[in-house]
Amino acid sequence: MRVITNCKIVTPDEIIEDKALAFDGRISGIVSSIPGDATVINAGGGYVLPGFVDIHVHGGGGYDFLDSAPEAISNILKTHAKHGTTSLLATTLTCPDEILCRGIEAVGNAVQSGVEGGSELLGIHLEGPYFSSAAKGAQAITEQKLPDLDELENWRRLSKNHIVRIDAAPELPEMDVLAKWAKDNGVLASIGHSGANAETAIEYLGKGFTHITHLYCSTTTEHKEGQVVHGGIIEAAYLCDDFTVELIGDGKHIPKETMLLCFKIKGASKTALITDAMRAAGTDVQRSVLGESETGTPVMIEDGVAKLLDRSSFAGSVATMDVCFKTALRYGVPICDAAKSCSLTPAGIIGVADRKGSLEPGKDADILIFDSEFNLKKVFVRGNEIV
């Protein structure tokens, strides 16, 4: 048994002082007295938080999940763990079929076997490829692909049933095929890189698209179709309580007022912060590649964000979850809400809140210790000290 003392424990609703957090591989509880045989970890008056859960991340430490090699996957998990991410989904992007299949298979194998020494790999997030070329952002969409049951089933098999989430543009034809497949297989469907109007977004909420991919980035707002005005995905997100949303928390993609507006309307329980990090996260390179190393898109890192070389679009973030958390604090989001949006809320969105996302007894001991200025000092993944 280990016990963290001299700390402020951040729960979803309050900050608890003058108590200690007891754990082993799992959280034992918040305790008033320290058991005699416990190993004491003195937090020096700092904060104790649940580990961050990143449900949208492509890579880091110089690697992308689509590189597929075990050392690439292991390096990404280690890089993000050092910055407070204790579990994550491996996100793919639109790319040639054989690269995508290879990536899905490699990540599926890694989930199956488990990878030690870094963030826990919870499954696969397919960002695409059924996207609208009108809202592609930095996704390399060369031909319009439409949902195909055989293709979806092939990916599911390759992944060893570890696809957790798929993002698509619901206005495209054949989207009911995807909606049904996602529902049948317990896969979270999310609206992303989409030109849908509010009516279509809400129609597909009813068909199981309950989440919205990086709200404000490659999503629509009110607009005209011909001479008729329509709401967009953003209005649908705010109007319908059943939508959860995610915001890229790097401090570059979303301005302060927009993040605060989202927290004001949706609340921390419906708003997840994500990195959407590409391979340059956790490095200091100025040139990099978005996607797989051979076939991906060349990008530059400038002003702390990845951009296409012609600067026509951002190309993912280079942030880690500690940066997202601190961005929210800097913007004025209260500590408990910022922590919740980095942990319990994303855990709930992908269905792992029974074992991740808060410091409740019985949950995995995914624990972060920060000093009083919110510099990350220690990271535990299922009780194992990473940093």
Q: Using CB under 5 A as the criterion, which residues of the chain lie in contact with Zn ion when the complex forms?
A: 127, 276
Preceding peptide of 129 cis, ω within 30°? yes
Please tell me the distance from the alpha carbon of residue 299 to that of residue 188, in angstroms, as a whole number. 30
- The DSSP string of 165-202 is EEEE-TTSTTHHHHHHHHHHTTPEEEE-S---BHHHHH
Question: From the CB of 277, what's the least distance to Zn ion, in Å?
Answer: 9
Backbone angles phi, psi at 385, to 5 degrees: -75, 120
Question: From the CB of 365, what's the least distance to Zn ion, in Å?
Answer: 29
Nearer Cβ to Zn ion (67/127): 127
Question: From the CB of 327, what's the least distance to Zn ion, in Å?
Answer: 17
Question: From the CB of 316, what's the least distance to Zn ion, in Å?
Answer: 6
Question: From the CB of 91, what's the least distance to Zn ion, in Å?
Answer: 5
Nearer Cβ to Zn ion (120/276): 276
Nearer Cβ to Zn ion (127/292): 127
CB atoms within 10 A of CB 142: 9
**Nearest in space to 192 (alpha carbons), one of 174, 165, 219:** 219
Q: For residue 176, how many C-alpha atoms fall within 13 Å in the half-sphere facing its CB? A: 1
Question: From the CB of 318, what's the least distance to Zn ion, in Å?
Answer: 13
Nearer Cβ to Zn ion (2/80): 80
Please tell me the distance from the alpha carbon of residue 338 to that of residue 342, in angstroms, as a whole number. 6
Residue nearest to Zn ion (CB): 276
Nearer Cβ to Zn ion (276/364): 276
Percentages helix, strand, coil for the chain (3-state, rounded to 5) are 25, 30, 45
Q: Residue 137 is which amino acid?
A: G
Nearer Cβ to Zn ion (298/362): 298
DSSP H helix total and E strand total for the chain: 10, 26
